[in-house]
Amino acid sequence: MRASVLVEPGRIEMQERVVPTPDPGDVLVKVASVGICGSDTHFYREGHIGDLVADRPVVLGHESSGTIVAVGAGVAADRIGQRVSIEPQRPDPSSEESRRGLYHLCPHMQFFAAPPIDGALAEYVTIGSGFAHPVPDEMSDDAAALCEPLSVAIATNRKARVTAGSRVLVAGAGPIGIATLQTALAFGATEVIVSDLDSRRRNIATKFGAAAVLDPREQDVAGLHVDAFIDASGAPSAVSAGIEAVRPAGTVVLVGMGATEMTLPVQTIQNRELVLTGVFRYANTWPTAISLARSGRVDLDLMVTGRFPLSEAEQALNADRTPGSLKAVVRVPE
């Protein structure tokens, strides 16, 4: 099979690799679509994200969909032919976190495209059968792949306690910010305000239902008095400003990847008794993601602004530098 391999920072090679064989409990998936995530671009350009270092060749891509073409022992043969959205996780079921239902925090996690684990920018991948989620016929391959970033948004909104009538501030109108915006509205938020430095991305947020968009260089968010603030930017200045926008007993959720350390307004957090937490991955989100996309409450296809063949994966990894780009997708069949 063909695979797009990061051989060193800034260099992708197309390689021929052996098609993997599904282990007991696994399925073999012929990949259809792969979304490009900010973590993929970090590995591509810098070779690392925090402690995760791509110190050997690795296949990127963890937002993926495809069709089951073979099954391992213990998996029903009637799964062959199913179109699926892949939850790109292999937790250790015996770990304490997994036993508590928090399998996404398993310390022994094998996650697609988190070195040294290969990801989905290849023609075939294997995954545990329970992590290959069937999708309806009317869902596109691209939307099925983007159930992964939608799952991040679902986990984020759950932690933010977004519900009917909530007022929410989202910092950052990139793919996670836009997915978070749509999910907050689907969860019942009556007002979602989005801040971003880029006017094009503010316009995108308006198209996806933001009640208001702000340029944080020109407008102070401190007096918004929102129920929840979600940072999808990773910018220290956005985090500090957003915390000041939250009403007493409100919630702050950090999901954007940015600075490893930052200064926070601790007195505000204490005096208002704010709940501050983070989101790393997700657990038990795929059924909700598929339902939201199927119902039309979240439009994943509309988020796609560029499609590339597998042979042009490197161009897809650089698509975020194109003005107006939101989400690039690699279509594996050519």
Q: Which homologous superfamily is 2-146+300-331 in?
A: Medium-chain alcohol dehydrogenases, catalytic domain (3.90.180.10)
Sequence-ordered list of residues with C-beta below 8 angstroms from that of 274, at least 6 positions apart, any chain: 243, 246, 248, 249, 250, 251, 252, 268
Checking if the pLDDT of 151 tops 80, the result is yes
Query: Model-level pTM greater than 0.85?
Result: yes
Q: How far is 44 from 38, CA to CA, in rounded Å?
A: 10
> Reduced to 3 states, what is the DSSP secondary structure of residue 334?
coil
- Beta pairing class for 167-171 and 226-231: parallel
What is the per-residue pLDDT across 244-260, written as a single tens digit (0 to 9) for each?
Answer: 999 999 999 999 988 88
Check if the beta carbon of residue 280 is closer than 8 Å to that of residue 254: no
| Positions of CATH 3.90.180.10 in the chain | 2-146+300-331
- Taking residues 80-87, report their average pLDDT: 98
Check if the beta carbon of residue 209 is closer than 8 Å to that of residue 187: no
| Positions of CATH 3.40.50.720 in the chain | 151-278
291: left (phi over 0), alpha (psi -120 to 50) or beta: alpha
What is the per-residue pLDDT across 26-37, written as a single tens digit (0 to 9) for each?
Answer: 999 999 999 999
Helix ranges (DSSP H) in 119-167:
141-145, 147-159
What is the per-residue pLDDT across 45-63, written as a single tens digit (0 to 9) for each?
Answer: 999 887 889 989 999 999 9
CATH topology of domain 151-278: Rossmann fold (3.40.50)
Phi and psi (nearest 5°) for 241? Answer: -65, -40
Checking if the pLDDT of 334 tops 80, the result is no
